[in-house]
Amino acid sequence: MDKIYLNQMQFWGYHGLFPEENKLGQRFNVDLELELDLHPAAATDDMTKSIDYGAVYEVTRAVVEGEAKKLVETVAQSLADKLLKQFERLDACRVKVTKPDPPIPGHYQSVAIDIHRSRL
């Protein structure tokens, strides 16, 4: 399966269990791996046979910067659901949502959720 990658998109969201996270917000990074057959687009040089990266970015922004969720897991699932619903050519997607600065004591780079969803 062919893939389109959108890497390290950065957004400001209000997701988390703690009231401070919902009030102050924090950074979220998103990586997407979109699975689809790119042969028709490549063979014809026709964008309508692919997926518009800008439209994918806007869907991602709307989800991550939209309604606050308690769990990053829910953010990732919501994004996968929206992508599969909005883009008919998309067969499957991998969504990785990284929270660089979660309010957890200790030393670490980040926490992340990585899911893979496909059409049933």
Active-site residue numbers? 99
Report yes or no: 15 and 79 within 8 Å, Cβ to Cβ: no
Please, what's the b/e burial string for 26-61 (b: 16 or more CB within 10 A of its CB; e: otherwise)?
bebbbbbbbbbebeebeeeeeeebbbeeeebeebbb
Encoded amino acid at 90, one letter: L
